[in-house]
Every structure is written in structure tokens, then in C-alpha cells.
Amino acid sequence: MESMKRQGFAPAFASVTVISILIVVVIGVLIHRSRLIGPVTILLGFVPLIPLKFSGRGIKSVGADIMFGAIDTGILGVAALVGASFAGVLGAIVGGAIGDAVTDGFAGLFEGKMAETLRRHQIEETRTALSSSMGKMSGCLFGVGVVLTIAWTLLRIRTRLN
């Protein structure tokens, strides 16, 4: 029962709020250093896992949420980059919005499959406010971090700003 209290809405809300502020500040400082944003975003993906450990939750138990976030936001990042390359900021917004709708569907397929696999291996994966929010946040940061690292560091893709 004590473990469930540590995973309730209030601790989850506090964790999401604090981590969101941290992410915005860190990325805000690095916004003009595109080559660093991807790797730093990947590193930031580990931060949401900290509250999970303090709540007594294993990282494996949120594997489905991490998978969802990584696929969802990773592909969304690709859609936004493609949109930006065709139509600047407006293209990035439209690409991101349409990409989000499409990737939610595909990511949900993999999230469901992962949840089935975890249950089959008797890994506790019951969702709580904390586990879902931190797992998805972590996965999103990993996914888009990889995409941005590949795009801006390895492929050296440049996007138009207007």
C-alpha cells in the first residue's frame, strides 16, 4: 500500500512538473547548439527514471511506456524535421501534429505488444500515474534524442527557420 501512495497522482504531478522545468531550462540553454541537443536529450531521458526507483518501481515494469514514448516522439521528430525542411516553422508544426496522430497509432501497437510480453514473463507492469508519466516521458526523450542526434550530428541536416 505504501508503494502505491508513492506512485499516486500527487507524486506523479510533482515529478512531471519538476522534470519538465529541468528539461525546458536545459534545452533552453542549448537551443542554439543543435549538435548537443540530441545527445543531451538522450541523457535527459534517464531523469524520469529516478522517481520510479524512489517509488520502488523497477525500470522493466515501464518498458511498454518507454517503448510507446520512444516510437511516438521519435517518429514525430522525423515528421517535424521533414515538415520544417519543406515549409519552415509552419511545416514543422503541421508535420509534428499529423505525425503525432499517426505515431500514436503505431506506438500503441508496440506498447500493447510489450505489455503482453512483460505479463507473459511475469513482470509487474500495472500502470500508475507515476509509472505511465515517467515511462512515457523517458521514452519520448530517448526517441527524439536519437532522431535529433542522427539528423543534426551525423547527417548534418539543416532546417529553415521561416
Domain assignment of residue 162, yes or no: no
| Tens-place pLDDT, residues 102-144 | 988 898 898 889 888 988 998 877 888 899 999 999 999 999 9
pLDDT in tens, 24-76: 999 999 988 878 999 999 999 999 999 999 998 889 889 999 999 999 999 99
Radius of gyration from C-alpha coordinates of the chain: 17
**For residue 92, what are the contacts with CB-CB under 8 A and spacing of at least 6?**
80, 81, 83, 84, 159
Q: Which of 24, 11, 23, 39 lies closest to 150, judged by CA?
A: 39
* Confidence (pLDDT) at 24: 96
Please state, in angstroms and as integers, the Cα–Cα distance from residue 139 to each residue in 4, 62, 107, 144, following that order: 22, 10, 11, 9
pLDDT of residue 1: 46
Which grid coordinates are listed for 30?
542549448
Spatial separation of the C-alpha atoms in residues 44 and 26, rounded to whole Å = 9
Number of compact structural domains in the chain: 1
Residue 137: predicted pLDDT: 96
* pLDDT reported for residue 162: 44
Q: Domain for residue 160, yes or no?
A: no
* 68 within some domain: yes
Specify the pTM.
0.87
Question: Within a domain: residue 95?
Answer: yes
The domain of 106 spans: 2-154
User: Could you give the angle at the alpha carbon of 133 between the alpha carbons of 98 and 95, nearest 5°?
Assistant: 10
Q: Where does the pLDDT of residue 5 fall: very low under 50, low under 70, confident under 90, or very high at 90 and above?
A: low
Residue 161 in any domain: the answer is no
Report if residue 77 sits inside a domain.
Answer: yes
Give the confidence band of 160 by pLDDT, cuts at 50, 70, 90: low
C-alpha cell at 156: 548534418
* The C-alpha cell that represents 109 in the structure block: 501497437
Higher-scoring residue by pLDDT: 116, 156: 116
* Separation of alpha carbons 4 and 12, rounded Å: 11
103 in a structural domain: yes
Look at residue 128 and tell me if it is in a domain: yes
| Nearest partner of 77 among 24, 40, 105, 38, judged by Cα | 38
